[in-house]
Amino acid sequence: MEGDKSSGAGAGGLVLLNCFVSPFGNRVRIALKRKGLAYEEKHENLAPKSPLLLSSNPVHAKVPVLLVGGSPVCESLVILEFVDEAFAGNGEPLLPAAPCARAHARFWASYVDSKLPECAVRVWRSPKGAAAVEEGRKDLVAVLKTLEAELGAKPYFAGDALGYVDVALVPFAPWFLTYERLGGFSVAGECPALAAWAERCVRENECVAKSLPEAEDVFQFVCGMRKMLGLD
Binding region for its own copies (CB under 8 A): 1, 59, 68, 71, 73-75, 77-79, 81-82, 85-86, 99-100, 102-104, 106-108, 110-111, 146
Q: Which is nearer to its own copies, 82 or 185 (CB)?
A: 82
Q: How far is the CB of 1 from its own copies (least distance, A)?
A: 5
Q: Which is nearer to its own copies, 34 or 219 (CB)?
A: 34
Q: Which is nearer to its own copies, 115 or 226 (CB)?
A: 115
d(CA 25, CA 224): 20
Q: How far is the CB of 149 from its own copies (least distance, A)?
A: 9
Q: How far is the CB of 31 from its own copies (least distance, A)?
A: 13
Q: How far is the CB of 227 from its own copies (least distance, A)?
A: 30
Q: Which H or E element spans position 71?
A: strand 71-74
Give ∠ CA 181-186-191 in degrees, rounded to 5.
145
Q: How far is the CB of 104 from its own copies (least distance, A)?
A: 5
Query: DSSP string of 82-104?
Result: HHHHHTTTSSS-SS-SSHHHHHH
d(CA 119, CA 189): 18
d(CA 33, CA 20): 15
Between the alpha carbon of residue 28 and those of residues 34, 175, 195, 198, the distances in Å are: 10, 17, 22, 17
Sequence-separated contacts (24+) of 135-139 with Cβ below 8 Å? 136/183, 137/179, 137/183, 137/184, 137/185
Q: Which is nearer to its own copies, 104 or 125 (CB)?
A: 104
Q: Which is nearer to its own copies, 106 or 125 (CB)?
A: 106
